[in-house]
Structure formats: structure tokens, C-alpha cells
Structure 1
């Protein structure tokens, strides 16, 4: 046993007197030195993945999507992105179950294809979530202004407050992060579930005004369902993509999850059809309850009263809907910011361990927290301070940040699909049996190929509207494509600087560190006490 465990580079056996001591240390989430710890439970992982995709993209941007493209185009866009998310998550699940590594996205790029790809994916993913953190903090100041006007308290004050709170939560321990995210995500999920129920009651005439005009249902949906044509559909894809970002947190968190061989597949099987259900039903209800030509639906001024969720509650006769949804959206913002800070800090930590970032970012304290990575990401989140200042203007800066976050997110998904193809090719080239994988993606090879095609079409087609206008809109073109040259510079720049080479399939390392995972999963988690009735109910529903 001792010699087998020694193959795992993160668990040097010479630090232990016997194999049993090492096995006990791994089972408790430690590795004999200060490092990341496996303290996330199955319920944390499931709710992190589910709640990570429910944020301002759903609560606020969904109304703008319907206003721009109509309910039909919005339904098509969200369904397409939803099925693509399921495909790449199945791919990530296969790799993350076989080799659960914190910051797995860049680690897989380095191991399965080319160190330059790992470098590129790592820094792109870090930028994506760091910018997302900034966008969520900007949104927080807008939401708070519903209760406290900006004239009374400037938006940057709330940005400071929230970034201090989120940084503190991430600096305590990964268990504190998981527990906080679990409860925040649970509130969001319950809010969406209640919205779906209220929406169907309103559509059926059980609640709301006796004779609303226009009458909710087919009468509203048939009002130009595919407004704006093909160009509008493309513009919705970015909003839909931004809304779904966060699903890949399962793979990022796998390296700090207890018994990943069991819990990662469970999270994927239990979560993603529910994500698709939430989004598809939500867009359907909004599209059938609120006319697409409703001026308030676009939410151009950021007023919470024009949130589609709030509008449906108000139309259904729930007068306190605005206050309730305001609180829920604020929770969604904090949750998304919390997830963003966690994900980006782990990506930066992995970059440091691979030698692609300054070495001090590899430091982890005794609680398993990469302190300097968390602080560095928080500094990027401080961009929210600048763009929340009235002198700069929230709208334009927020749109740019949203575009960067969305496009870098699609690039990360591209990386997952490509790495899965390389993983399978290497696995086959080395004469291994697919039956030996702890979790097999049944969608291969269709899933990763479908993901690659959809992501590439969206990335290169998002500027179609700007080019199709009578006069080319330079600002729109730059907003759409500014990240693509950045990614190319990262890849080819690192390849030139570090003289990296594309790995041959037979040379791909499929074993290092894997034996330590086998030891971890061989130690079963102690059976928990009988769950209370409300925990069982939550488990069945979510």
C-alpha cells in the first residue's frame, strides 16, 4: 500500500511511518502538509453546482432577452445552451471523477494536451470569474438602491462592504465557503421553484386580476415570438451563456470534495436536468405572462421593479413581490460573487503549482485556504469600485464586463470539451478499457463535439449584428471579440516563452496522483444521523 500511494505526487509516503497513517490522514481531508483539504460534502457539491448558475443572469437579464428576441427566440437560445451545458458537464464529470483536481480546468489542459493550453485556460478562467465578481458587485449597488437611494449612500460603499464579507468567508475555510454557498443557493432555488408555481397559477387564472389585458398564455406568446430574427437570437446566446456559467464548479470543487468518485457523479446526475428544467420553465412562464413589448421588461435602467420575476408576482396579486425578489436577487448576487471568488482563487492556485504563476500563490494556510489567491482575486473585484462611481457610469462599464465574462466563459467550456476528447483518445491509445472508468459519459463523442460547435458558432457569430448594420459599430465589435486576441496571445506567447510541446497520446500522464484518490474513496464517510423531515424534503426536491 505504501509504495502504491507514493505514486501520488501530492502525498509523499516518506513523511509517514506506515500506510495506515497516510490513509487516515487522507480520509480526514489532509495530505500531511499544508494543502487543499477535502472538506466539501455531497450536499455542498450539489447545491454549489445548482445555485452557481442561478444569479443575475436569470433574475434580471432574462427579461432583456425576451424583450430583444421575443419569447420564442429566448426559449430556443436557453434550451440550446442548456443542452450544451449538460453535454460538457457530462464530459467534465468523467474527467473529474477519474482525476479530481482542484482547479481542474487548467490542470487537464496541461496534462492531456499541452502545458501552454493549461496556462491559457487557467488565466482565462481566472479572468472570467474575477470579472464576474466585479459585475456582481456592481449589480449589488443597484439592488441596494431600491431601499437606500444612491444619493444617500454611494454604490461604491456597498461594493466595499460586500467584497470584504465575501473575502472573509473565503479566507476562513473551504468548509465555511461550502456551508455558506449551500444556504444561499438553497434560498435561490426555493425562490425559483415558488416563482414557477405562482407562474403556472397565474397562467391558469387561479390568481391575479379576473380579466387581465392582455390575457396570459398563448395570446401573449403569439405576439411576434421570434422578434428580431437571426441577429436577435445570436445576441440572446451571450445572455443565456452568462446565466448558465457556474455549472462547471463541480469540476473545480472536486479536488476539495470528500469521496469525489461517489459525490461528483451524483451531483451531475441530480443537478443538471434540474438546471435545464428551472431555466426552460422560467423563460416559458415569463414569455407567456409578460408581453415582449413591455417597456419595463428590458430592465434598461436596472430598476428592480422591472425584473420579470417581480412583474409576474405583481400581476399575480402578490404585492410584496418586489421586496421579496429584491432580497432574493441580492442573495443571488452574494452567492455568485462567493462562487466566483472561490473558483478563480483555485484556478490561480493551480497555475502557481504548475509554475505558471508566481510561487507565492501556491501558499495554503493550515485551514486549506490559498490566502494570496483569494486576496489577489478580491483586488480584481475592486474594479467594481471604479465602475460603480457616478463619474464613470455603471451602464457602459457593466456591459463591457458582462461581455468579457460571457466570452471567457464560453472559452472555458470549449477547453473542457477539447480536454475530454484528448483524454479519451489518450485513454484508448494506452490500451485502457472504458469499462474501468468510475464514471462514463454516455454522450461521448457527440457531447464534446456538440459543445465545441455551439461555443465556436456563438463566439464568432456574436458580432454578427454589429457587422450587419448599415454602419459597422466599432464599439460593439470590440466588445464582442476583445477576448479572442487575448486568448491567442496567452497560448502562443507561453508556447514561445516556455518552449512547450503538444503531448503524444501515449505520453499523456493518466496515473500521477490517481492512487491517492483510490485511497480516499476507499474510506467511506461515516453514516450521518437520520435526516430530519425537512432535509429529506429538500433532498427529494433539489
Structure 2
């Protein structure tokens, strides 16, 4: 009897009508095509999904609908945070900062940005663990600050990554011409675009695996450069051994530690922010993580090590080896055309028909220049390959960041509805397609007006990261106040930012100072006369954010609320902010009590290390 019942169960389980049976029997190509069909509706709270109402009193995630798949593992999250943003900003963009500000400005600027960013990521981690929602940056702004500001932040962040993809595709095509000079740049743009398409159409797991590999390569390259940089600085390079030259800190005295005074120092911050840009991507990944409560705190704390080792140590070594007046650095006032050594540079394309977008010329990489100064012949080619990997990594992240943000905004009524489509594999399909289509702007590099177009594309994304980071800290401050006002305690939070509201205040204030510093550089550019064009090239993102904010206010006819007697908080009142919808329901009392008891038994130095580093 039992055997008959079991047989019936098996028959029912694997009957022709069973989805599992169909999935097994269908060929791979059929299953892949079916994966693009709409995902079935879920029956519980969904990350980043809510139905917009007639008013904006509740711009909160919730409702019902298909959700992004939670397939990112802990190792993916770790690598996204640890090496995801190591790219052209560090390898190439730092050269322009070195030329404009000198090695001391470079080092101080990156340290200040690093301390601020650590607090940004900590604040983001606290919010993302409690509310792991897709498109989290804009959703948090809509939820805790003001829907109009969330709308502006969402489009600000989406535009940032939408314009980065064509820039990175062009940069990759130019970089590869170091090895192949005869093939047209448009061919390589097509090749790299197809690679990005291939990665992103395998869903979030494809993105996670690709970033895992890319980040490993970049981390190994940076660690290798640290060792090499120390050897070069103490005179161990082939060129130094012939001349018995010890570099030490000579570049800090000749030509000097600073360049262009306070103006040069102010010029550091936006480039430094661009170099660190993408670190916040771990917040987007929260919605697709298997266990955000475990993986996100570790990932956010790893930022401390990335800042300390990958940026500060490497840039210190670069500043000790490469003088700020080196003629190959971007921003140098020397005539690069007369530099006889320029032909030795990695990625120096010959007979090319197009120049790389501004700030993406691997010829100007201070890392490559440092290797050339040492007289090492093979490593420039290898490091050029690392730069190529970095460019592809940033391009891959651009599709991920823009598509998830657009999808979340579409599902909150802040973007066209079709962009909220999620297929059976959890891919925001039409948002991905839009990002990839706009990647085709890279083919503009074949036209005579490419420099002008790419210049404006760079201007759109220039300050976007600053606004994003400021809004994350601002949303965290508003959340903490609402949490306290509504009777909650910090012990209820599954993860707390290391420096709490003090860290977020530092993030808000410092980002405002960066905006002021960039405004100063925009009205008084280094080495040129200020014009309307130069101003908007440096500050275009600010009016774009303002236009989006005012547009949503006028469209929804909501008041431009500011702090005052009737509403001391400004924007949303902290007493009425919804802290329940979309919050992860966890058995926190038991779990956190056990974890905190174990933490309290650790030695003081280990408690400090665990709080900051993992």
C-alpha cells in the first residue's frame, strides 16, 4: 500500500503537467528562450516593489510582484565591495590629479574621500541589511527624505551609469590598440559590447561571476604594483641599478609636494570620487544577495582595507616615483607631442583614427609611467592588460547599476513602466536592453565630433557620485531620527554603522564641501579662461539634479517643504515615516543576543577590529 502511494506521488510529481518535468525535458535553447517570459507574481513583500498611489505619502517598497533573484553569494558580495570599483579612476584618472595638485594633494584628497566613503558605505550597509531593496539609493531617498528628491537621485544615478558604458567601451577599444593597431576601433567596440551583452544576459549570477574574476585580477595587479613600487623607489629597477639612483621622496621636493596651490587641491576631489565610484554598488547587490544580513556587513567593513591598501598605499608610491610635471600625465602643462618617451607608453596607439575619451588615455597612466621610469620592458604590456580588464569591469558594472536603478524606479512609478519588467531569471530585461542600446553611443568615436560628445557625456556623470553619497548619508540620518522618534532602540538593528550618525553627518558635510570645491574649480579652471562651456563641463550634474527635482514637484503638485514651525523636519515628518513596510522580518532577539554576547567576550583590540574591518 505504501509502495502504491509512493508510486502515485512520483507519478504526480513528474507528470507531463508538472513544471519540473517540463523543465527537465525541454532542451537548453528552449529553456533559455522561456526564461525571458514574465516572472510569476509573488505573494509577499518584494524587494523594491510597490504600487504608487495617487499621493506621495507612502513611497515605500512593498506590494506584490516579481522580484529579483537572490543568487549572489558571499564571495560575490565581498569582491564587489573589495575590488569592484578599482578601475580607470585609479589606474588612469589619478594621473590628472597628480599633475594638477601634486603628490601631497593627491594623497590627502584620497584619504579624505576615503574616510568619508567608509562612513557612506557603513550607513548604506545599515539601511540595506534592514531594507534590502532593489534600486536602494533612490528608494531610500524617496522613503526617508522626499519622493521628488528620490526621483532626482534615481535618474541622477541611472544617467551616471548609462553614459559611463559607451565611454568605457571606447576606452577599451583604444587600450587594445596597443597590441593591434590596424583594426578599426569600431570593430573592438562591437567585440566588447558583445562581451558585456553576454555577461548581463546570464542574469545577476553572470554579473557576480564576472566581477569576481575581474576583481581578482585587479587585486593581484595592485598588490603586485605595491611590491614593485617599493622596489623601484629604493632603486631596484633596471634603470636605477645602472645609474645607482635612489628615488626616496625626491619628487616631493623636486618639483614639489603641491601644485597650483589651493586650486590644485580642490581639483583632486571629483577625480577621487570618480575613482571610488562604484563602491556603493554593494547596496544594489543587497536585493540579490542570498543572505544580506551576513554578507553585507562584512563587505561594507572591507572598504576600510580597500581604502587603506589599494588606494592610499599605491598612490603614495606613485607620488614618490612619478613627478607631477611628467610630460605624459594628463593635465601636465608640458607639450606631450614633443615627448620622445611617449612612444614607449603602454596603450600608445599608432596610426589611430580616434582618441580615447578624456581621462581614459592609458598612455597617461601613472602606474605605466612608473614602470617605464624603472626601465622594465615587459610589465607595461601586462599592466595595459590589467587596465583593459578594469575598463571592462566598469562597463559591466554600468549595465548592472543603471538597469537595477531604472527597474526599481519603474516599479515605483518614477520611470516608464516597461522598464520594470522582470523575467523568469530575475533579470530586469528591458532596463538591461536600454542600457546596452545606449552603449552604442560608443560608435560616435568614429565621427569628427567625438571629443565634444564625450566631453558632455563625462560632464553628465561628473558629480553624480557626490550627490548619491550625500543622499545615502542624509537618508541614514533621517532613518535614525525616525527610528528613535517612533520608539525603537539601536539594539533592534541587525547591523549598525560603525560611527553612527556622526559618520553620516561627516558624509553629508564633506560631500557639500566637495560640491563647493568643484564649483570653485568650475568658475576658475586650472590653466584656462573660464567660459560657460567650461563651467557646465565641470558642473552639469548639479543643474540636472535640480531640474529633475523641480519637475517631479511640479508634476505631482507637492509643496516645496522646508523646515519651519509647522514642519520642523522639512520634507517627510519623522513621526509619520513608515519603518515597517519592506523591512526584513528576522528572529533578531535570539540571533543578535548570541552574536553580541560572543562579540563582548573578545579582547578589546579584536572588538575594535571586528567593528571596523570584518
- TM-score of the superposition, structure 2-length normalised? 0.76
Q: 2:537 aligns with which of 479, 493, 498?
A: 479
Pick 1 or 2: higher relative contact order, CA cutoff 8 A, min separation 6: 1
Q: Give how far 1:333 is off.
A: 0.5
Tell me: CA distance 1:459–1:213, structure 2 relative to 1, closer, same or farther (3 Å). Answer: farther
Q: 1:507 aligns with which of 576, 583, 591?
A: 576
Q: Does 1:412 align with 2:468?
A: yes
403-412 vs 420-429, which moves further? 403-412
Number of the residue aligned with 2:298: 266
Tell me: CA distance 1:327–1:273, structure 2 relative to 1, closer, same or farther (3 Å). Answer: same
Matches within 5 A, 1:118-129: 118-129=150-161
Tell me: CA distance 1:7–1:113, structure 2 relative to 1, closer, same or farther (3 Å). Answer: farther
Number of the residue aligned with 1:350: 408
Check whether the contact 2:480–2:501 (CA below 8 A) recurs between aligned residues.
no
Q: Does 1:318 align with 2:350?
A: no
Number of the residue aligned with 2:27: none
Q: 1:193 aligns with which of 223, 227, 233?
A: 223
Counterparts of 1:354 and 1:466, CA distance in 2: 35
Tell me: CA distance 1:272–1:398, structure 2 relative to 1, closer, same or farther (3 Å). Answer: farther
Q: For structure 2, which runs of at least 5 residues remain unmatched after alignment?
A: 1-41, 50-62, 337-354, 560-570, 592-612
Q: Does 1:164 align with 2:201?
A: no
Q: For structure 1, which runs of at least 5 residues remain unmatched after alignment?
A: 13-30, 523-540
Counterparts of 1:373 and 1:382, CA distance in 2: 15
Check whether the contact 1:9–1:512 (CA below 8 A) recurs between aligned residues.
no
C-alpha distance after superposition, 1:87-124 (max 9, x if no partner) = 11111111111111111001111211222122111111
480-489 vs 336-345, which moves further? 480-489
Tell me: CA distance 1:315–1:411, structure 2 relative to 1, closer, same or farther (3 Å). Answer: same
Paired residue total: 497
Counterparts of 1:335 and 1:279, CA distance in 2: 18
132-141 vs 205-214, which moves further? 205-214
Instruction: Please report the RMSD computed on the Cα atoms of aligned residues, expressed in angstroms.
Output: 2.6
C-alpha distance after superposition, 1:164-212 (max 9, x if no partner) = 2212211211111101110011101110110011101122233332255
Check whether the contact 2:154–2:409 (CA below 8 A) recurs between aligned residues.
yes
Q: Does 1:83 align with 2:109?
A: no
Q: Give how far 1:317 is off.
A: 4.3
Q: Does 1:50 align with 2:82?
A: yes
Counterparts of 1:275 and 1:11, CA distance in 2: 30
Q: 2:393 aligns with which of 315, 321, 335?
A: 335
Counterparts of 1:222 and 1:287, CA distance in 2: 11
Q: Give how far 1:56 is off.
A: 0.7
Matches within 5 A, 1:335-414: 335-386=393-444, 388-394=445-451, 396-414=452-470
User: Greater share of helix residues, 1 or 2?
Assistant: 1
Number of the residue aligned with 2:234: 204
Number of the residue aligned with 1:24: none
Check whether the contact 2:166–2:441 (CA below 8 A) recurs between aligned residues.
yes
C-alpha distance after superposition, 1:342-374 (max 9, x if no partner) = 011000000011011111111111111011000
Number of the residue aligned with 1:8: 45
Q: Which of 1 and 2 has greater Rg?
A: 2
